[in-house]
Amino acid sequence: MATKKRWSKQVTEKSRAIVLEQGVFTKKPKEIARYLLRSAKASTKRKSTPFRSAMSMLNFYMNRAGKNLSLTAKKRLEKAKEELRKRSGK
């Protein structure tokens, strides 16, 4: 029963679209954006553009963390979103 409750952790750690290293979402916003975009570009299994895949993974992480995400972490991840948009020309 516990494995069903932890499906989002498995998606974050073992996503087929983007390969993520441990602790990527704890880095600085520019590093998060650069890493996600680089991983999305390198992926051959993504279904969308690199920008959309990277943004999707970032949003997924933020949504699943929900109320457990501290205010400083939320601000850092929002800045990472802005940086991701800037790097992608969006």
Tell me the per-residue pLDDT of 14-37, one tens digit each, with 9 for 90 and over: 656 666 778 888 899 999 999 999
User: Do the Cβ atoms of 40 and 18 come closer than 8 Å?
Assistant: yes
d(CA 55, CA 43): 14
Examine the pLDDT at 41 and tell me if it is beyond 60.
yes
**Which string of b and e fits 70-82 if b means at least 16 CB within 10 Å?**
eeeeeebbeebbe
d(CA 56, CA 59): 5
**What is the reported pLDDT for 48?**
82
Across the chain, mean pLDDT equals 83
**What is the reported pLDDT for 70?**
92
Backbone angles phi, psi at 44, to 5 degrees: -105, -5
